[in-house]
Amino acid sequence: MSDEFEPKFDASGLLTAVIVDAQSKAVLMVAFMDAEALAATRASGFAHFHSRSRGRLWKKGESSGNVLAVERILVDCDQDALVLECRPAGPTCHTGADSCFFRQLEDDALRPVNT
């Protein structure tokens, strides 16, 4: 196992990125990064992703102002997934929720997460 960072992008050129709150460790969102998004994130200190729906680089919060300041990037053993520990500047989810994971599955229904 090498100490060199050699990300293993999938056939679509993407890595899975799990975004967690740097303080609480709550899961905020899951997104995808290509080489351009990873480079922009490392250079700026703010989370950038590859938007599959828009087909382009996307800075989280570019229109809402709810950016994610990256404190640390964790790399899994295979270097094909990342965890970004971030400080969110406002809600993370486009719905206005703090996290994209605000619902839980109960039987076949989605219910609000009990906090």
Domain limits for position 50: 15-91+98-112
Which is nearest to 98 in space by CA: 27, 12, 1, 6? 27
Which position has the token pair 């080489």?
Answer: 35
> Looking at the domain assignment, is residue 2 inside a domain?
no
Check residue 1 and give its pLDDT.
67
Report the Cα–Cα distance between both ends of the chain, in Å, rounded.
Answer: 40
pLDDT at 115: 59
Q: Report pLDDT for 2.
A: 78
43, 49, 71: which is closest to 62 by C-alpha? 49
3 falls within a domain: no
**Rounded average pLDDT per 10-residue block, the chain, 115 residues:** 91 97 97 98 98 93 95 97 98 94 95 83
The answer as to whether 7 is a domain residue is no
Q: Specify the number of domains making up the chain.
A: 1
Whether 9 is covered by a domain: the verdict is no
